[in-house]
Chains A and B, each alone.
Chain A
Amino acid sequence: GEDVEQSLFLSVREGDSSVINCTYTDSSSTYLYWYKQEPGAGLQLLTYIFSNMDMKQDQRLTVLLNKKDKHLSLRIADTQTGDSAIYFCAERSNTGKLIFGQGTTLQVKP
């Protein structure tokens, strides 16, 4: 069945780069997404990538897609304390619904 997996926790120092990884199972996924959730809030769409792309860059965010290995990553350059949040990876299933991973909690230490 469709499944999205992420590591649960990542801790980095302020100013370092963060890399959050995600694996998915549905090879027919057309879009893959990264969402950010701050404490007590809803999810905010950060970025997305179309399945025929290998990389997408948007300011401090870089998304890499390895379609062969079904692996997606989100790199945050120059990580700031305001980047501390839960990051969710999601794939669009063939039914049109988004399938979410469990979320990776990013802790940024000053």
Chain B
Amino acid sequence: DGGITQSPKYLFRKEGQNVTLSCEQNLNHDAMYWYRQDPGQGLRLIYYSQIVNDFQKGDIAEGYSVSREKKESFPLTVTSAQKNPTAFYLCASSFGTSGGYTFGSGTRLTVV
């Protein structure tokens, strides 16, 4: 079945460490997105990529980095520069700039 997979579902990080969240899709979608969701809040866009080897900053890119070396994959690295990384992270994909988004099931990151 086609879909978008995020892993791991739960992730714990010590302060000062970088951590990478995985996002893989087999929908042949061109565009991929990373969102952050805090309790009781909506979605905030971190980074997005509309084509391989290209990506743009979203509204809250500071402290995060991404790569898009393959169409299927869009990993997100939460760096030690991100001051408040504990949140629920959602990855999504779409056919270019048309159509709705398909979302992964999310990764909950906790800093301990």
Residue ranges of A at the interface with B (Cβ–Cβ < 8 Å): 8, 31, 33, 35, 40-45, 48, 88, 92, 95-98, 100-103
User: Who on chain A is nearest to B6 by CB?
Assistant: A42
Check if B98 sits within 8 Å of A43, measured CB to CB: no
Closest B residue to A31 by beta carbon equals B100
Taking CB atoms, residues of chain A closer than 8 Å to B92 are: 43
What are some 10 contacts across the A-B interface (CB < 8 A)?
A8-B40, A40-B108, A41-B105, A42-B90, A42-B106, A96-B50, A96-B96, A96-B97, A97-B33, A100-B43
Instruction: Kindly list chain A residues whose C-beta atoms are within 8 Å of the C-beta of B96.
Output: 96
* Total chain B interface residues with beta-carbon distance under 8 A: 23
Chain A CB within 8 A of B101 CB: yes
State A101–B41 Cα separation when bound (angstroms).
9
A65 → chain B closest CB, angstroms: 16
- How many A-B pairs fall under 8 Å by CB? 45
Q: In this assembly, does B2 line the interface, its C-beta being within 8 Å of a C-beta of chain A? A: no
Report whether A88 and B48 are in contact in the complex, using a CB–CB cutoff of 8 Å.
no
In the complex, B52 has a CB within 8 A of chain A: no
**Nearest Cβ on chain A to B39's Cβ, whole angstroms:** 11
A45 and B45 within 8 A (CB): no
A97→B100 CA distance, assembly (Å): 9
Within the complex, the shortest CB–CB distance from B51 to chain A, in Å, comes to: 12
Is A100 touching B106 in the complex (CB atoms < 8 A)? Answer: no
